[in-house]
Amino acid sequence: MVTHLAAARERLAQVPDPEIPAVTLVDLGIVRDLRETASGVEVVLTPTYSGCPATELIADEVRAALAEFGDVTITLQRAPAWSTDWITPEGRQKLQQYGIVPPQCSAEQAIKVVPRLRCPRCDSGSTQQLSRFGSTACKSTWRCIECGEPFEYFKPI
């Protein structure tokens, strides 16, 4: 039985996202809950997309990180669906520092608002979207007109 659920939470907060290692699973809001069980812990995860190819890898990394706390059960909770609204303020800052512009509005506002993005490298507001889709479906590809550097935008969903 886990006697130090707080220690398990701290360990879980250190598990990086496999696709964006600058942020953790907790930063992205993928971790919904951590519960004590009779033989260990249960971690409730919500993948960023129902077909996310990293879901199995994420579960394996969570199991490995929490192995010292006993049996680790992973429960995938897909409803409600993950939203970029769940990214923590620290996660947003880490994304920006990594070169990915975090969502600039809530998922609800994204339906009505066209983003005006600032370059994460030179801070210029002179940017343009190159593609609605980036390296993953949750990102789009942009370019800074001032410095010429491409960057990704984590779309609000």
Q: Which of 48, 76, 104 is the last residue of a domain?
A: 76
Same domain for 11 and 72, yes or no, is yes
Residue-wise pLDDT for 15-71, tens only, equals 999 999 999 999 999 999 999 999 999 999 999 887 888 999 999 999 999 999 999
What Å distances lie between residue 1 and 13, 24, 38, 43, 61, CA to CA?
20, 26, 5, 15, 21
Same domain for 103 and 54, yes or no, is no
Same domain for 56 and 9, yes or no, is yes
Same domain for 112 and 96, yes or no, is yes
What CATH number should be reported for the domain holding residue 27? 3.30.300.130
Residue-wise pLDDT for 91-133, tens only, equals 999 999 999 999 887 777 765 666 778 999 999 989 988 888 8
pLDDT tops 50 at residue 2: no
Rounded to whole angstroms, how far apart are CA atoms 144 and 23? 23
Pairing state between β 71-76 and 40-45: parallel
Same domain for 10 and 65, yes or no, is yes
Residue-wise pLDDT for 113-122, tens only, equals 667 789 999 9
Element (H, E) at 26: helix 25-28
Within 13 Å, how many C-alpha atoms sit on residue 61's CB side?
A: 19
What DSSP letter does each residue of 68-97 carry, written as one string? Answer: GGSEEEEEE--SSPP-GGGS-HHHHHHHHH
Q: What domain count does the chain have? A: 2
Full domain range(s) for residue 48 = 5-76
Same domain for 112 and 52, yes or no, is no
pTM (two decimals): 0.76
